Amino acid sequence: MRLFRTLLTAAAVSALMAGASHAQDAATGAALRDKALTDKTGWTILEALTTDIGPRNVGSPGAIRAKDWGLATFKALGFQNVRAEPFAKPSWIRGEESASITAPYEMKLSILGLGNSVPTPAGGVEAEIVVFTTLADLAAAPDSAVKGKIVVINQPMTRTQDGSGYGAGTMVRYTGPALAGKKGAVAYLTRSVSTSDSRQAHTGAMAYVGDGPKVPAGALGVPDADLLQRLASRGKTVKIKLNLQSHVDEKAMAWNVIGEIPGSSKPEELIVIGGHLDAWDPGEGAIDDGAGIAITTAAAKLIGDLPKHPKRTIRVVMFGSEETGGSSDAYMAAHKDEVARTVFTGESDVGGDRIFEVRLPAGSADHPAMKAAVNTLLPLKIFLAREPVGHAGSDVEGLQEAGVPAFGLTQDASRYFDLHHSADDTLDKVKPENLAQNVAAWASLLYFAADSDIDFRALTAAKAATPAGH
C-alpha cells in the first residue's frame, strides 16, 4: 500500500509538473503572439530588402547585394552560425523586350519574356497569330493550324483564397512553349498567369523538353490577350512583331543564407523554416518573397529574444534560387546528414496577407503542445484545417520528400496573383498589420514546436497505420 501511495504521489507530481510546463509554454506562446502584433521587426526587414537591394534575380548584381544583406541582417538581429552556402546555378538574364500588333493596325502590347526562354532573332520575329482559349485546345489542334505562326493562349486563371487556381495557369506558362514549338510555331505568347485586369504582364519560369524545338516565349498583359482573342474571333488576320532578347550565364552562382537560434537543451534537433531571397526582376519582390523572408526572420528573432531559448534549434534559410529552381536541391546536398534530426519544416511564400488556417503534420493535432498552439492562434482568427499540409513550399520540398514533417500557415491569396511576378510587386502592396499577424502566428507556432518533445514522424506514422474510421 505504501508503494502504491508512493507511485501515486510520484505520478501526481509528474502530472502537475507537466501541466505547469504546458501552462508556462501557453503563456510564453501567447506573449510572443501579442508582442509580435506591435513589433516592427518584420516591416523593417521588408522595407530594407525592397528599398536597399531592389531586383535580385539569380545572376544579377542584386543577387550578390541580397546575399550580403542577408548575412548582415542575421548578424544584426543576433542570429548565430550565420553563413552563406554557395551553389552553381545557370542564370537566365532578361534583355530588350517588345511586342506590337502590326496588322490589322499598329499597337504596342504589354509583354514580359518568360524565364528560360530562348531569344528571338536579333531583329525580332513577325508572324500571323493563332489564338487558343486553353492549352488543351492547342494540344488538339492540327500542326497545320500552328506551323509558322505565333501561338497565343488566352486561358484565364481562377481567383481562390488558397491560391489553388495557380496550378492550371502555370501549366500553360511552363509547358506551352514546348508544345507550340513541337507543332511548328515560331513563337509562343500566353495570357499572364494572373487574376488581375491590369495591363502589367507577369513573368515566370518555363521549360523546354529534351531536344525538341525551342521557340521564344513571353507573357502578355491580361487585357492585351483578351484583345488579341477578340480580333481573331472577327476573322481578321492579326500579326505581331515580337522581340525578346535574353542570354544565359552558365557560370552564375546563388546562395542559401542561413542564421540560427540555437536550442537550449536539444540543439541538435532542427526546425528549418524560411522564404526565398531571389525575386523576378520587374518589381521589388515585396510579396514574392520579401514578405516571407521578413515573416520567418522576424518570428525567429522574437523567439531568440526570450530569456531562455526553446529546446530545439530554429534555422532560418533565405533560399537563393526559388523562381528558377535550385535552392531545395542545394540545401539537401549540403545538409543530407541532418535530415534525420530535422523535426519540422515550413516556408512562407504567398505574400503578406492574413493567415486564416494552420495545417499540421498528420497525427499531431491531438498532441497537447499542438493543441496549445492552435488555441494560441485562435485570437488571430486562424483555425485548424482538417487535412494535414500538402506541398509546404518549393524550397522545403526536398526535406518533405525525405520524410521531414511539414506544416503550413495558409495565407489569404485572393489578391496575391494580381501582383506577383510583375512590376506591381512593390512594398506598398503589403499592409503592416497583416504582416504583423503573420509574424505573430509563426512565432507562437514555432515556439510550441521548438520547446516540445513532439516526435512528428512517429505521430504521422501512427496515424498512417490507423485504420480509417478509428
What's the grid cell of residue 418? 494580381
Q: Does an H or E element contain 93, and which? A: strand 91-103
What is the number of alpha carbons within 13 Å of residue 3 lying toward its C-beta?
Answer: 0
Q: Beta-strand (E) ranges in 194-338?
A: 217-220, 239-249, 253-261, 266-276, 312-319
C-alpha to C-alpha distance for 205 and 58, rounded to whole angstroms: 13
Peptide bond into 467 cis (omega under 30): no
Q: Where are the alpha helices (DSSP H) in 256-342?
A: 291-304, 327-335
Q: b/e for 319-328, b at 16 or more Cβ within 10 A?
A: bbbbbbbbbb
C-alpha to C-alpha distance for 193 and 173, rounded to whole angstroms: 7
What's the grid cell of residue 2? 505504501
**Strand order, beta sheet including 150-153:** 107-108, 91-103, 239-249, 125-132, 150-153, 187-191, 217-220, 111-113
C-alpha to C-alpha distance for 314 and 335, rounded to whole angstroms: 15
Of residues 145, 87, 96, 102, the one with CA closest to residue 322: 87
Helices 291-304, 2-36: inter-axial angle, 10-degree rounding: 130
Q: b/e for 57-69, b at 16 or more Cβ within 10 A?
A: bbbbebbebbbeb
C-alpha to C-alpha distance for 56 and 54, rounded to whole angstroms: 6
Of residues 232, 204, 198, the one with CA closest to residue 101: 232
Q: Would you call 85 a catalytic residue per the annotation?
A: no
What's the grid cell of residue 294? 521578413
Q: Is 410 left (phi over 0), alpha (psi -120 to 50) or beta?
A: beta
Instruction: Indicate which residue of 97, 260, 284, 322 is catalytic.
Output: 322
Of residues 168, 139, 141, 142, the one with CA closest to residue 155: 168
Active-site residues, by number, are 322
